[in-house]
Structure 1
Amino acid sequence: MAYRFWCGECGFKTPWLAESEGARRQLEHYIKQHPGIPAGGHVETNRKNPDGGLGCLQAAGIVVLLLIIAAACQR
């Protein structure tokens, strides 16, 4: 899923990023632009266009299912 972090002090916002990357960029912004102020603001979640990738567990499940089907076809 993609996240966009907004600064609580000015109009800065990150691009749509992974949660950890967005938080890192917001923190860097606060250190440079608002030294001494704790990072604040809000986080926006992109629900309309999620990243769409399969999770590792889902991908592993698909691979296992395909292996079972392939093994069954060879008998």
Structure 2
Amino acid sequence: MAYRHWCGECGYKTGWLSESQSEEQQIEHYAKQHPGIPPGGSVEVNRKDPDSLGCLPVLGILFLLLILAASCQR
């Protein structure tokens, strides 16, 4: 999944990154732009992540089990 952190002090937002990378960028932003203020704001989760396989692996396993079950019935 991809994450984007929003600054709680200004309109800055990170790009869509892994959770740790996005958090790291937010911490760097606060250190440069808002020194002395602990990082805050909000986190947005991209549920339409193009790298996600969704339910495809589950469907593949079910299909293989169906083929296995059909081949065992003779």
Please say whether Structure 1 and Structure 2 have the same fold, judged by a TM-score greater than 0.5: yes
TM-score bracket for the superposition, by shorter chain length: 0.5 to 0.7
Gaps spanning 5+ residues in structure 1: where? 63-75
Deviation at 1:49? 2.6
Q: Label 1:53 to 1:33 Cα distance change in 2 as closer, same or farther (>3 A).
A: farther
TM-score where L is the length of structure 1? 0.67
C-alpha distance in 1, partners of 2:50/2:38?
Answer: 29
Point out the structure with max Rg over C-alpha: 2
Aligned residues: 57
Structure 2 length as normaliser, TM-score?
A: 0.68
Residues 46, 29 of structure 1: alpha-carbon distance in 2 compared, 3 angstrom cutoff:
same
The Cα shift of 1:52 comes to 1.4
Percentage of matched positions with identical amino acids: 66
